Chain A
Amino acid sequence: MTTTSTKSVNKKRQVSEIEQATVRFAGDSGDGMQLVGDQFTHSSVLFGNDVATLPDYPAEIRAPAGSLGGVSGFQINFAGKEIHTPGDKVNALFAMNPAALKVNIADLDAGGLLVVNKDAFTAENLKKANYDSNPLEDGSLKNYKVIQIPLSTLNQEAVEGLGLDKKSAERCKNFFVLGLAYWIYDRPIEQTLNWLKKKFAKMPEIAEANERSMRAGYHFGETTELIANTYQVHKANPAAGTYRKVTGNEATSLGLITASKISNKPLFYGSYPITPASEILQDLSAKKNFGVTTFQAEDEIAAICAAIGASYGGALAATGTSGPGMALKTEGIGLAVMTELPLVVVNVQRGGPSTGLPTKTEQADLFQALLGRNGECPVPVLAACTPSDCFYMAIEASRIAMKFMTPVILLTDGYLANGAEPLRIPDIDDLPKIDVDYFTDSSAAPFKPYTRNERLARPWALPGTPELMHRVGGLEKEHITGNVSYDPANHDYMIRLRQEKVNGIVEDIPLAQVNGDEEGDLLVVGWGGTYGSIMTAVEKLRQKGKSISSLHIKYLNPFPKNLGAILKRYKKVAAAELNLGQLQFVLRSKFLVDVKSVNKVQGKPFRADELCDAFLEILETI
Chain B
Amino acid sequence: MTVDSQTTPLSPKDYASDQHVRWCPGCGDYSILAQMKKALAELQIPKEKCVFISGIGCSSRFPYYLDTYGIHGIHGRAAAIATGLKMARPDLSVWVITGDGDGLSIGGNHFIHTIRRNVDLNIVLFNNRIYGLTKGQVSPTSEFGKKTKSTPWGSVDNPVRPISAALGAEATFVARTIDTHVKHLANILVQAAQHKGVSFVEVYQNCNIFNDGAYLYATDRQQKFDNVLELEHGKPMIFGKNGEKGIRFKDFHLEVVTIGENGVTENDLLVHDETRKDPSLAFLLGNLSYPEFPEPIGVFRSVSKPSYEELVANQIQQAREKIGKNELKDLLYTGDTWVVE
Contact = CB atoms under 8 A, between A and B. Distances in A.
A515 B159 CA distance: 64
A54 B52 CA distance: 48
Contacts of A464: 48-49, 89, 91-92
B1 A428 contact: no
B325 A289 contact: yes
Contacts of A288: 315-316, 319-320
Contacts of A42: 336
Contacts of A261: 327-328, 331
Contact of A463 (B64, B87, B92, B335): B92
B187 to A, nearest CB: 26
A268 B88 contact: yes
Say what secondary structure dominates the interface of chain A: mixed
Interface string B311-341: 0100110011011111111011111111111
B175 to A, nearest CB: 24
A310 interface: yes
A313 interface: yes
Contact of B331 (A242, A257, A302): A257
B67 interface: yes
Interface in A452-503: 462-475, 483-484
Interface string A226-252: 000000000001111111110000000
Contacts of A322: none
Interface stretch (B70-78, B134-142, B228-236, B261-269): B70-78
B340 A239 contact: yes
A244 B72 contact: no
Interface residues of A, number: 73
Contact of B1 (A241, A299, A311, A467): A467
Contact of B88 (A289, A299, A309): A309
B85 interface: yes
Contact of A295 (B2, B83, B324, B329): B83
Contact of A335 (B63, B68, B74): B74
B53 interface: yes
A291 B326 contact: yes
A306 B319 contact: no
A567 to B, nearest CB: 37
Given A291-B316, A302-B83, A470-B69, A309 B53 contact: yes
A297 interface: yes
B88 A266 contact: yes
Nearest to B60: A473
Nearest to A308: B81
A301 B73 contact: no
A306 B48 contact: no
A375 interface: no
Interface residues of B, number: 64
Residue among B77, B322, B324 having the largest count of chain A Cβ atoms under 10 Å: B77
B71 A473 contact: yes
A241 B338 CA distance: 8
Interface string B43-71: 00011110111001000000110011111
Contacts of B77: 301-302, 305, 332
A299 B83 CA distance: 13
Contacts of A266: 88
B332 A254 contact: yes
Contact of A293 (B81, B88, B112, B328): B88
A307 interface: yes
A153 to B, nearest CB: 34
B336 A309 contact: no
Interface in B11-26: 17-19
A253 B13 CA distance: 47
A314 B84 CA distance: 11
Given A289-B326, A471-B72, A242 B63 contact: no
B214 interface: no
B89 A301 contact: no
A306 B332 CA distance: 27
A262 B328 contact: yes
Interface in B262-307: none
B85 A331 contact: no
A414 interface: no
A305 B329 contact: no
B73 A471 contact: no
A619 interface: no
B34 interface: no
B167 interface: no
B88 A305 contact: no
Contacts of B112: 298
Of listed B49, B73, B109, residue having the most chain A CB within 10 A: B73
B10 to A, nearest CB: 12
A579 interface: no
Contacts of B69: 312, 463, 469-471
B149 interface: no
A483 B67 CA distance: 12
Contact of A306 (B1, B84, B329): B84
Contacts of A309: 53, 71, 80-86, 88
B48 A463 contact: yes
Nearest to B117: A298
B110 interface: yes
A305 B74 contact: yes
- Identify which of A288, A292, A463 gathers the most chain B CB atoms within 10 Å of its CB: A463
A351 to B, nearest CB: 27
A467 B48 contact: yes
Nearest to B68: A469
Contacts of A334: 74
A299 to B, nearest CB: 6
Nearest to B76: A301
A242 B328 CA distance: 15
B72 A313 contact: no
Given A254-B331, A463-B48, A471 B84 contact: no
A342 interface: no
A242 B88 contact: no
Nearest to A285: B315
Interface string A311-322: 111110100000
A586 B315 CA distance: 46
A48 interface: yes
A476 to B, nearest CB: 11
B241 interface: no
A592 B48 CA distance: 52
Nearest to B69: A463
A398 to B, nearest CB: 14
Contacts of B46: 466
A243 B338 contact: yes
B181 interface: no
Nearest to A253: B331
A386 B310 CA distance: 38
Contacts of A315: 88
A509 interface: no
B110 A331 contact: no
Given A244-B338, A475-B72, 15 more contacts: A46-B336, A48-B338, A243-B339, A244-B335, A245-B336, A258-B331, A289-B322, A293-B312, A298-B80, A306-B87, A313-B92, A464-B49, A464-B92, A466-B46, A471-B71
Interface of A: 42, 45-46, 48, 191, 237-245, 254, 257-258, 261-262, 266, 268, 270, 287-293, 295, 297-299, 301-302, 305-315, 317, 331-332, 334-335, 339, 425-426, 428, 442, 446, 462-475, 483-484
22 contacts: A42-B336, A48-B340, A242-B339, A244-B332, A289-B320, A290-B331, A291-B320, A292-B316, A297-B80, A298-B113, A299-B109, A302-B83, A305-B73, A306-B87, A310-B85, A332-B77, A339-B71, A464-B89, A466-B48, A467-B2, A472-B70, A473-B64
Q: Which 9 A-B pairs have the closest CB atoms?
A: A473-B72, A306-B84, A309-B84, A309-B85, A305-B80, A288-B319, A302-B80, A466-B1, A310-B88
